[in-house]
A and B are shown apart, each in its own frame.
Chain A
Amino acid sequence: MEDLIKKRIKQVLKGDQSAFEEIVSLYQNRLYQVCYRMLGNSHEAEDITQEAFIRAYINLHTFDQKRKFSTWLYRIATNLCIDRIRKKKPDAFLDAPVPGTEGLDHYSSIAHDSPLPEEEVERMELQDRVQYEIGRLPDKYRSAIVLRYIEELPLQEISEILELPLGTVKTRIHRGREALRKQMKTL
């Protein structure tokens, strides 16, 4: 698969735009899924997926062909998602500590809309509940958790996608699991 992709990349770089279509069809589901899980909204996910592919196309000459293409593509998409999430937040008090949140700053605790009443959460269908709980994770942890458990990527690859040391990725996944465990006490 990587060989086929590299062949298509060379064709695109030579000016054959249509060769990019195969790249899009091979990766669109994975990229869309990451964006959807990160953003929790199909319209935004579509928007960002499209933007990610266009950026990949424009910057294709900067891709190091000795590396894995999907890692590079995931990096473009997760960076765009993280930017989009940040833009949606009010920019006041971002770094102010919030009492009783054990070191989470305001930045992470407003990652999503305010929590819903418990009865409402309990009535949710499983798939809605999965998305709701992922959306409540602080975004620092959310990207690592989505790449680990939705995309099922190895820790090393997640560290390359997020451009973070392996130890930091592990810490984020550990904290993400702890956060989820606390959120799910009612399940």
Chain B
Amino acid sequence: MKPCPEDIVRYMHDYLDGEITRRDEQILKEHLEKCPECQQHMDGLSRSVAFLKSAAPIEAPEGLASGIMASLPKERQGAGVRR
């Protein structure tokens, strides 16, 4: 069996970054159709990305903002105080 072109994995990542050229995408597609191992590699990468995207948004705990405001130094250094 012919070894896989060495750029194939790089094309997979370019594809996932949305930065693949049309020509490279064609090469990748044709290769994946005939190489189950690379197809499996690609699927693994796609699954990893989907998995990361399934992370639920996280909100700051209540009271964080007021805690921050209360911890600020009283006057800014070098700031003109005109009242």
Contact = CB atoms under 8 A, between A and B. Distances in A.
A58 B68 CA distance: 12
B54 A32 contact: no
Interface residues of A, number: 47
- Among the interface residues B13, B56, B60, which one has the most CB atoms of the partner chain A within 10 A? B60
A7 B33 CA distance: 55
A181 B47 contact: yes
A17 B76 contact: yes
A94 interface: no
Interface string B28-40: 0000000000000
Interface stretch (A66-74, A98-106, A114-122, A125-133): A125-133
B48 A180 contact: yes
A170 B60 contact: no
B55 A130 contact: yes
Contact of B52 (A18, A53, A180): A180
B45 interface: yes
Contact of A150 (B17, B52, B72): B52
Contact of A187 (B45, B47, B81): B47
Given A49-B64, A50-B64, A32 B58 contact: yes
Interface of A: 12-15, 17-18, 20-21, 24-25, 28-29, 31-33, 36-37, 42, 46, 49-50, 53-54, 57-58, 60-61, 126-127, 130-131, 133-134, 145, 149-150, 155, 170, 173-174, 177-178, 180-181, 184-185, 187
8 contacts: A17-B72, A18-B69, A21-B65, A57-B72, A58-B77, A127-B55, A149-B55, A174-B13
Given A127-B55, A170-B17, 17 more contacts: A15-B81, A17-B69, A18-B69, A21-B65, A32-B64, A33-B57, A49-B68, A54-B68, A57-B73, A126-B54, A130-B55, A131-B55, A133-B51, A134-B55, A180-B48, A181-B41, A181-B44
User: Nearest 9 CB-CB pairs, A to B?
Assistant: A32-B60, A149-B52, A180-B48, A181-B44, A28-B60, A15-B79, A174-B13, A33-B58, A130-B55
